[in-house]
Structure 1
């Protein structure tokens, strides 16, 4: 297992903002190699000491919400710890721990809400992005709005259907044929530009 500081050093310093949302098999492989045992400990209900202070909670959220998506791309296991991450994010936000973290990293307290298939969580994520993130994070806000739009329309993220063995609806199939999430994002960008 690794310490919370090792998660933060790797994700915030080594990978950094340019790599956070990139699809990079080398980064995914390194995350699996370095952090799988710690991720499994979190899945088993461990790491409770991480949840007693702001940077520990941040490391937990990166491990359970972000690293899951890197380690298990296109697999339902990518979402296995979403409920745990969401609970930790909500508790941390209530304690104001997100505000004790630099703005660039603060977004990781809000992403479990953005990844939730619940419209109330989506609405709260947008409020937090507006109220607690700097104006320079406008692209994060746009991404959050696009996620909310998908949940408004379908009540779930259709692009998870295959990984979660969910049967797509006709509307979801039409959505995918039009470009899916990318289409939603481009529409919102056009609305902002107009």
Structure 2
């Protein structure tokens, strides 16, 4: 999973070869997140996850440097709309995803990438909810309301896996929260990400320049 979060030229090239043409078509049509959901009508939790990866993370591996403007202006609004729709519908806590932390954390990412303070507060809440569910794996009655059937059996199975390595799952949630706080602190301080100023053609303030010159986070951009 970590290949998504570090610079890897070979992986970037693979992403570009497979998905750049499709993303260019989306870019050229100026389609909205709402329109994409109407067209795709995701019917399973994993389809929602796939859409978020496609529109939030994939562009970050394809459009780097000066091209990253496309990420921030075209694809981030789409991914944020999808993440909001998914979490409003409770997809992130669906029985098939509730204890699959590696899948569930994707719903946080579009909000983490936002320059909107309210979205960052929502990201914190989502991560805390994820951590609460991990903590609840010790209680087998917690999910009784989800009943029986294949989805419930999958929930029981994934809960048991998390329970068997709860400390590692707790650390993953803590890491996610710390990563979000690093993002949120920048937005709270500047109202935007200074490292995006160049690609977006924004004037850099003295405080922002000092922050970057001092080694402030750019998150691999």
Report if TM-score (shorter chain) is over 0.5.
yes
1:136 is matched with 171
Identify the structure with bigger relative contact order (alpha carbons < 8 Å, sequence gap 6+): 2
2:21 to 13, 37, 61: 37
- In the TM superposition, what are the counterparts of 1:171-190 in structure 2 within 5 Å? 171-181=207-217
- In the TM superposition, what are the counterparts of 1:88-167 in structure 2 within 5 Å? 88-100=82-94, 101=97, 102-133=100-131, 134=134, 135-137=170-172, 138-167=174-203
Conserved 8 A contact 1:85-1:112: yes
Cα-Cα RMSD: 1.7
- Give the deviation of 1:50 after TM superposition: 5.0
Q: Deviations over 1:144-190 (max 9, x none)?
A: 001000000000000111111111111101111111117xxxxxxxx
Rounded to whole Å, the distance in 1 between the matches of 2:9 and 2:177 is 27
Conserved 8 A contact 1:61-1:109: yes
Rounded to whole Å, the distance in 2 between the matches of 1:62 and 1:40 is 16
Say which is worse superposed, 25-34 or 35-44, in terms of deviation.
Answer: 35-44
Where structure 1 has 5 or more consecutive residues not aligned to the other structure, the ranges are 1-16, 183-194
* TM-score, scaled to structure 2: 0.70
Q: Deviations over 1:81-120 (max 9, x none)?
A: 1111101100100111112322111111111100110111
2:148 is matched with none
Moved over 6 A (4+): none
Total equivalences in the alignment: 166
Rounded to whole Å, the distance in 2 between the matches of 1:51 and 1:40 is 21
